[in-house]
Amino acid sequence: MVRDMLRRFVGSAILAVPIILYSPLGTSLFGRELAPPLGLSPGLLGFVLTSIVVWWGGWPFVSSAWRSLRRGELTMMTLIATGILVSYLYSAAVTLGLPGEPFYDAAAMLTAFSLLGHWMEMRSRFAAGQAVEALLQLAPPTARRVRHGQEEEVPLEAVAVGDILAVRPSDTVPVDGVVTEGSSYVDESMLTGEPIPVAKGPGDEVVGGTRNQQGAFRLRATKVGADTALARIVAMVRDAQSSKAPAQRLADLAGKYLVIVALAAGVVTFAAWLVFGHQGVSFALSAAVAAIVIACPDALALATPTAITVGVGRAARAGVLFRNATVLEAAATVDTVVFDKTGTLTEGRPSVTDVIPAAGVDEAEIFRLAAAADAQSEHPLATAVVEAAKKRALAVDPPSHFEAVPGHGVQAVVGGRSVLVGNRKLLERNRIMPGLERDAERLRAEAKTALYVAADNRILGLVAVADRIRPSAKSAISALHDLGIRVLLLTGDSRATAEAVARTLGIDDVRAEVLPGEKAAEVRRLEEQGRRVAMVGDGVNDAPALAAATVGIAIGAGTDVAIETAGIILMKDDPADVPVALVLARRVHRKIKQNLFWAAIYNVIAIPLAGGALYPSLGILLKPAWAALAMSASTMTVTVNALLLRRPGHARA
């Protein structure tokens, strides 16, 4: 379609050159009348060439206008086709003997310039959609399915949930799944925009369309076909690009009325010049055609969708997915961002942050004994201690006795030594003086859990465990403040933990110890105060709050429930993409307002000018051909302005 429009434009532009040369416009340009070849009259040559331009080059406009009329609608194509056909048919009538002056040049130039404007519009839409279409090509056509220990290559469509698939070095992962054996690094840049490959091993999730690096592994398919992350991303971006924002619906309504106004302006202009201006039919008709053509609301109709199409495509390349245009427009008005803590501002899993040994105790000894005692515990804090010991490659002896003490910790016998790992109450229960109290208080003030480690009735030290704050969280909060946005923390954690995180990150306000069912009520309370709220979360218990907010934002590691509820999905586990999304939304919104302003100013100035308002005083009258050029220029202006969103600088705050 884009190539066809380009072919029609090039062909029409080439034919328009001799039409102009042998027209009255050519005579005025060269100071003398040029003689056509083969003894043809200027009128006959103009008729033959313009007929090709109108019925071949201008056919998309004429056919579209005809279909609209059959449906009882008046559209932009109606205006363009009216201008082309009136210019052409009147000129043909003059060639056949009607008194007057033909203006085939107007019909030819009007067709060529209109084709140019529409080709640029289609080209911008095509370019904006290319990134999305390229995603579809990432999925390989086949996969290596493993059955009875043998690999067989099968079409991708034949893969079912539960199938075991083999992925070799440099292969593209065929579908979403979980690694069952082997390990490798996987390039997920197509999904997250993050260029650094991610380590994958048994139990890790992989996404279809991502690129395996040097290792080999097998995966169990969990999502196939339209359910894969890749297919859902493409569907979401397509839906967003084709959806209509509130501003676009208003522009469409204004455009419909403007079509009627333009046709009325043409009729009034023709009648006024013919009756009151004491001008001939040619003059009056030329002014009327110019008024109809220049009033074509192409720029008004393209102001919003072009910016949205380009903006949504640009956001997708940055790992930010907008569900639809309404969400994008709402995101531009956000003045308050509410963050969930766990898994959003933090990594969502506890890890060891500090080890504080008592006097004369070796740090490695604390780790060995604590990890051995915790080895059989399923508590997340115990798991964090065991993982930390593994990272330090410490030899951990299995306990000969293990007992979990609910609400306090664990006690075990390791290498003949009686070991306790837990809170202060566990030590007091065993009549051990805790010690290291100042260190424990400091750790608690930093939102860390202090685990006491004791052996043979003696305190050995403290192991601090916490849900680590994401490295980019502080810069994300700072970027939101730079945008004039107020930031709140909404969490079910204790007030001490929540306030410690808020102090570290510079968050403005805290709502702590909030039950899952109360989060949505807190968001609604903020909105009742007149705030425009974006809720950022990742878990099932965040879904009601995401739905209640002006804009719900699901961070990359979020659950399916959170993603289905949110209006914006961040493909990376990175809170820094929250300000990126809001900046993109604001810039798209700004482009829409700029384009609508330009389209409105253009019509206010251009319609009277084309109708001949300046002719009586200044002798200025806009010819139909120049009206077509002005109309195309206005279309190009809003298109190019929207395309500026594709620059990399428009993706970051």
Per the prediction, the chain carries an average pLDDT of: 84
Residue 159 lies in a domain: yes
Where do we find the tokens 């709402």? 330
12-21, 153-162, 260-269: which has the highest mean pLDDT? Answer: 153-162
Q: What is the mean pLDDT of residues 625-640?
A: 77
Whether the pLDDT of residue 652 is over 70: the answer is no
Which position has the higher pLDDT, 447 or 559?
Answer: 447
Q: What is the mean pLDDT of residues 167-183?
A: 93
Residue 423 lies in a domain: yes
Whether the pLDDT of residue 221 is over 90: the answer is yes
pLDDT for residue 369: 93
Element (H, E) at 634: helix 624-643
- Residues 461 and 544 placed together within one structural domain of the fold: no
Q: What is the mean pLDDT of residues 315-341?
A: 88
Strands 401-405, 409-414: pairing kind: antiparallel
pLDDT for residue 535: 94
Q: What single letter denotes the amino acid at residue 595? A: N
Work out the pLDDT band at 137, boundaries 50, 70, 90: confident
- Residues 213 and 355 placed together within one structural domain of the fold: no
Whether the pLDDT of residue 627 is over 80: the answer is no
Residue 484 lies in a domain: yes
Element (H, E) at 364: helix 363-374
- Residues 352 and 461 placed together within one structural domain of the fold: yes
pLDDT for residue 281: 82
Work out the pLDDT band at 192, boundaries 50, 70, 90: low
- Residues 342 and 352 placed together within one structural domain of the fold: no
- Write down which residue in 544, 578, 612 finishes a domain: 578
Residue 103 lies in a domain: no
Q: What is the mean pLDDT of residues 302-324?
A: 81
CA gap 535, 482 in Å, rounded: 18
Residue 137 lies in a domain: no
Residues 6+ apart with CB under 8 A from 39: none
- Residues 435 and 508 placed together within one structural domain of the fold: no
- Residues 367 and 429 placed together within one structural domain of the fold: yes
- Residues 357 and 464 placed together within one structural domain of the fold: yes
Residue 336 lies in a domain: yes
Whether the pLDDT of residue 55 is over 80: the answer is yes
pLDDT for residue 29: 67
Instruction: Give the count of domains, the chain.
Output: 3
Residues 6+ apart with CB under 8 A from 507: 339, 477, 487, 488, 489, 501
- Residues 447 and 477 placed together within one structural domain of the fold: no
Q: How far is CA 48 from CA 16, 52, 286, 393, in A?
A: 11, 7, 21, 88
Work out the pLDDT band at 558, boundaries 50, 70, 90: very low
pLDDT for residue 156: 92
CA gap 233, 230 in Å, rounded: 5
CA gap 648, 494 in Å, rounded: 41
Rounded to the nearest angstrom, the gap between the alpha carbon of residue 30 and the centroid of all alpha carbons in its chain is: 53
pLDDT for residue 653: 42
Residue 312 lies in a domain: no
Rounded to the nearest angstrom, the gap between the alpha carbon of residue 223 and the centroid of all alpha carbons in its chain is: 23
Q: What is the mean pLDDT of residues 38-55?
A: 88
CATH code, 221: 2.70.150.10
For residue 36, the 8-state DSSP code is: P
The 3-state DSSP class for residue 396 equals coil
Structural domain of residue 504, as residue ranges? 322-346+470-578
The values of phi and psi at residue 461, to 5°, are: 160, -170
CB 602 within 8 A of CB 506: no
CB 476 within 8 A of CB 507: no
CATH code, 522: 3.40.50.1000
pLDDT for residue 125: 63
pLDDT in tens, 443-458: 888 878 889 999 999 9
For residue 263, give the nearest of 292, 297, 296 by alpha carbon.
292
The values of phi and psi at residue 329, to 5°, are: -70, -35
- Residues 446 and 541 placed together within one structural domain of the fold: no
- Write down which residue in 578, 603, 634 finishes a domain: 578
Catalytic site residue 482? no
- Write down which residue in 468, 497, 517 finishes a domain: 468
The sign one gets for the Cα dihedral 497, 499, 504, 505 is positive
- Residues 363 and 430 placed together within one structural domain of the fold: yes
Whether the pLDDT of residue 499 is over 80: the answer is yes
Q: What is the mean pLDDT of residues 376-384?
A: 86
Question: Token digits for 527?
Answer: 């909105």
CA gap 223, 173 in Å, rounded: 12
pLDDT in tens, 223-269: 998 888 778 777 776 776 565 656 656 666 666 777 788 788 888 88
pLDDT in tens, 400-420: 999 988 878 899 999 899 999
- Residues 339 and 475 placed together within one structural domain of the fold: yes
pLDDT for residue 52: 96
Q: What is the mean pLDDT of residues 148-174?
A: 93
Which position has the higher pLDDT, 646 or 132?
Answer: 646
First to last CA, the chain: 36
CA gap 286, 103 in Å, rounded: 8
Q: Could you say which of 340, 538, 574, 577 is catalytic?
A: 340
CATH code, 398: 3.40.1110.10
pLDDT for residue 31: 65
Work out the pLDDT band at 132, boundaries 50, 70, 90: low
pLDDT for residue 650: 43
CA gap 92, 45 in Å, rounded: 11
Residues 6+ apart with CB under 8 A from 61: 77, 80, 81, 84, 111, 114
The sign one gets for the Cα dihedral 391, 392, 397, 399 is negative
CA gap 604, 265 in Å, rounded: 12
User: In three state form, how does the secondary structure of 569-620 look?
Assistant: EECCCCCCHHHHHHHHHHHHHHHHHHHHHHHHHHHHHHHHHHHCCCHHHHCC
- Residues 405 and 479 placed together within one structural domain of the fold: no
Residue 488 lies in a domain: yes
Q: What is the mean pLDDT of residues 524-543?
A: 86
